[in-house]
Structure 1
C-alpha cells in the first residue's frame, strides 16, 4: 500500500507540474522580433555635448552674443526637429561688451541628420533654419539657415 501511495503522489506531482508548464506557456504572449527604432538624432553644442530637445542653445560659441532660449519642441525625429523659442541677440552697440540683448520670437528647424565625425554611431543634425516671427536682428534676414558644426 505504501508503494501505491508513493506512486499516486508522484503521478499527481508530475501532473501538477505539467499543468503549470502548459498554463504558463499558453498564457505568455507570443514573442515576435521587432525592428529597433532608429537612433534619435542629437544636437551637438559648443562643448561637444549631445543634446535632445534642449531648452536653450548657444549659436555664437565664441562670444555668446546669439543664443536660443525657451525652446519648446513639437517634433524630434530622424526627419527633423521643430521648436519655437526666442533668439536673444546682442546688438553690440557701441561695442559687444557694452551692447544690449534683444529677444526675437523664432521657429527653429533642424534637419539633415548625418553620422557625427566624433562618434559615427551617433546621428546629429547638420543644419539649422531660424524663421523670425516678426522683427529680426539688424543684418539678419527673415529666414536664416546655418550649417551646424561636426
Structure 2
C-alpha cells in the first residue's frame, strides 16, 4: 500500500508539474507572440531609421570631403599671402637700407657743401676787393 500511495503522490506531483509547465509555456508563448508583434511593428521603423542614417552618413562624408577640398584651396591662398608678405618685408628692408645709405650720403653732401660755403666766405673775406686793388695800383 505504501507503494501505491507513493505512486499516487508521484503521479499527482508529475501532473502538477506538467500543468505548471504547460501554463508557463503558454505564458511564454504569449510573451513571444507579443515580442514578435512588437518587432514586426518596430522593424519598418528601424529599417527606415537605418536608411535615413545611411543617407545622413553619405551626406556627412560628402560635406567633409567638400570642406577638405576647400581647406586645401585656402591653404594655397594663405601660402601665397605668406610668400607675398615675405617679399614685401624683404622690399621694405631693402628700401629702409637704401634710405639709410641715401641719408648718410645726403649728410655727407650737406657737410661738403657747408664746408665749401665756409671756404667761399673765407676766400671772399680775404680776397681783395676791386676798390682795394685799384687803390694799390695807383
**TM-score for the superposition, normalised by structure 2:** 0.32
Higher radius of gyration, 1 or 2: 2
More strand by share: 1
| Relative contact order, higher structure (CA 8 A, sep 6+) | 1
Which structure's residues are more often helix, by fraction?
2
Give the TM-score, by structure 1 length. Answer: 0.30
